[in-house]
Structure 1
Amino acid sequence: MKVALIHLATRETPQTTLEKALNLLNQAHQQGATVAVLPELFPSGYRYADAAKTPEVLSQLQSFCAKSDMTLVAGVLEQAGERHANRAKVIGPAGLQASYTKTHLIPAFGEHQTMIPGQDLVTLDLGGYKVGVAICFALRFPELFRAYALEGASLFLVPSAWPMSRSYAWELFCKARAAENQAYLIAVNHAEDPFGAPSLAVDPFGMEILRLEAEGAGLVELDPAIPARLRQEFPVLSERRPELYQGLLKSPTSK
């Protein structure tokens, strides 16, 4: 399966951003990509008024998928009652396949004041993989990715808006989440300030296989046999001892 990482800068309007995204998606399609991942909140960033434009953006992405036979994972901002939702939409040739609402809202960006938190994890079958979907800040929560791995996921797709100033942590978390779960991880970021950490593709050994630091589309070819073989030859998940980890369910304490 060929996956395209669309390392994209958000422009002045959702429409101009979408036009650039479609240009890069067409390039990826011509190079044989069957799946593409766009950044978190890619058409708008945190411009809440632009949520009104999201239905039209999704409609045009659906038209692209129907014509190209590609599947997209796109981070968008949606209205959710009086608040908003930060979502990753999985769109295929036949329409919407899944919708993940950001489960871990980041205090540093004030998301708790403006957005609803997601209550469910999302997996789906795609190109020979069971895929787990997450957004950005979730990379700091290994429990989420372990939960996906225990459900059989061997590919994580993570639209993100991660600041360059914390790129050292971004790279560490991307590689750790892949290696500890013996899964591929595709994390796609914004190309503009204040974000700008590189988009990364990481293999099940935790090794970087693609890095994008400038706006553009990059492709990786993933082999589902690799995580399956690694999990068989070097068992990790089967060696867990859940009885020792019950404290993970406790509420945190403040000191």
Structure 2
Amino acid sequence: MRVAVIQMSPGADKARNIAQARALIEAVTSREAVDLIVLPEIWTCLGGTRAQKFAAAETLPRRGMAGGEAYEFLREVAVRNGIHIHGGSIGELAGDKLFNTSLVFSSKGEELARYRKIHLFDIVTPDGQGYRESAIYGAGEQVVTCEINGLKVGLAICYDLRFPELFLQLRRQGAELILLPAAFTLQTGKDHWEVLLRARGIETQCWVAAAACTGMHREPDGEPRYTYGHSLIVDPWGHVVAKASDGTGWASAIIDHGVTERVRANMPVLEHRKLV
């Protein structure tokens, strides 16, 4: 199965972000025969005011029913291209709060999974910039997997990357591939992004496909914020097998079940684990 991770540079304009996602998906599918495309985190509205975030968010429908603009865009491109789409994550409107939520669609437009980000980004980066995701978003509670072309796939989002216990649960639930859309900050990304992704791949002996935002967006006060990009795919031995360059674009790789089997057979760490 060939997976492509899309690297976007979104802002607070939802319509413009959807147009950018469409153009990148069309570019990938016109050049490569891919089975699964993964978009980055919160690509429909990155930055902007609280009001803009709520305006861009969507109430998710019951499965099989029609949804909002981004929901239907994802479903439409999956069907039109005959591929599976992991919609990165979008703002999910649930009453008076938002959730940072991933959606997965089959090539027939069926919703296969939705995952709400569990770990919220409430930190201060080394340059003194503060982030408080919990001021806007609620935290998810469920560990989520789904099946794509016979492969068990685990779901995580951005800051979840720092919590290996979640990835271990995904492995225990049978995951062979873990998808992680992100909008990693430039400050944390340059030091931790690739290291953590490789570590999660090594620990779980899973493939990890991470689609990231890149470039600059603005906060409500006009302050510029920068995301790191460097979307990549890691194999179960921890090798980076594909990486996007600077700017918008994509990277792709074939998920080889044989590699997974060989790594796990030669070093059965799950069976050796003594502590929960």
Equivalent position to 2:192, from 149, 166, 169: 169
Matches of 1:95 and 1:19 in 2, distance apart?
A: 22
Matches of 1:128 and 1:220 in 2, distance apart?
A: 17
The match for 2:9 is 9
The match for 2:161 is 139
Count of residue pairs the alignment pairs up: 243
Contact in 2 for aligned 1:184/1:203 (Cα 8 Å):
yes
Unaligned stretches of 5+ in structure 2?
A: 59-67, 124-130, 217-225
Matches of 1:63 and 1:88 in 2, distance apart?
A: 16
The match for 1:44 is 45
One-letter amino acid of the structure 2 residue matched with residue 139 of structure 1: L
Matches of 1:165 and 1:50 in 2, distance apart?
A: 23
One-letter amino acid of the structure 1 residue matched with residue 21 of structure 2: A
Contact in 2 for aligned 1:7/1:188 (Cα 8 Å):
yes
The match for 1:128 is 150
The match for 2:234 is 202
> Do residues 95 (structure 1) and 110 (structure 2) align?
yes
Matches of 1:83 and 1:39 in 2, distance apart?
A: 21
User: What's the RMSD between the two structures over aligned residues?
Assistant: 1.4
> Displacement, 1:217?
2.1
Q: Which deviates the most, 35-44 or 65-74? A: 65-74
The match for 1:236 is 269
One-letter amino acid of the structure 2 residue matched with residue 223 of structure 1: D
One-letter amino acid of the structure 2 residue matched with residue 18 of structure 1: I
The match for 1:226 is 259
> Do residues 107 (structure 1) and 130 (structure 2) align?
no
> Displacement, 1:94?
2.7
One-letter amino acid of the structure 1 residue matched with residue 104 of structure 2: V
One-letter amino acid of the structure 1 residue matched with residue 101 of structure 2: R
Deviation track 1:50-78 (CA, whole Å, cap 9, x = no partner) reads 44344211112211111111111121012
One-letter amino acid of the structure 2 residue matched with residue 222 of structure 1: I
Matches of 2:12 and 2:171 in 1, distance apart?
A: 38
Matches of 1:98 and 1:155 in 2, distance apart?
A: 15
> Do residues 85 (structure 1) and 99 (structure 2) align?
yes
What's the secondary structure of 1:204's corresponding residue?
coil
Matches of 2:53 and 2:269 in 1, distance apart?
A: 44
The match for 1:189 is 212
Deviation track 1:194-227 (CA, whole Å, cap 9, x = no partner) reads 1123111111110111111321122211112211
Contact in 2 for aligned 1:159/1:189 (Cα 8 Å):
yes
One-letter amino acid of the structure 2 residue matched with residue 100 of structure 1: Y
Matches of 1:18 and 1:127 in 2, distance apart?
A: 26
The match for 1:71 is 84
Q: Which deviates the most, 116-125 or 192-201? A: 192-201
Matches of 1:210 and 1:51 in 2, distance apart?
A: 35
One-letter amino acid of the structure 1 residue matched with residue 162 of structure 2: R
Deviation track 1:160-201 (CA, whole Å, cap 9, x = no partner) reads 010121121111110000011111001111011311231111
**Given the two structures, how large is their TM-score scaled by the length of structure 2?**
0.84
Matches of 1:60 and 1:125 in 2, distance apart?
A: 21
> Displacement, 1:29?
1.9
Structure 1 stretches of 4+ with a deviation exceeding 3 A read 50-54
**Given the two structures, how large is their TM-score scaled by the length of structure 1?**
0.91
What's the secondary structure of 2:46's corresponding residue?
coil
Unaligned stretches of 5+ in structure 1?
A: 246-255
Deviation track 1:16-74 (CA, whole Å, cap 9, x = no partner) reads 11111111112222310110111100110144424434421111221111111111112
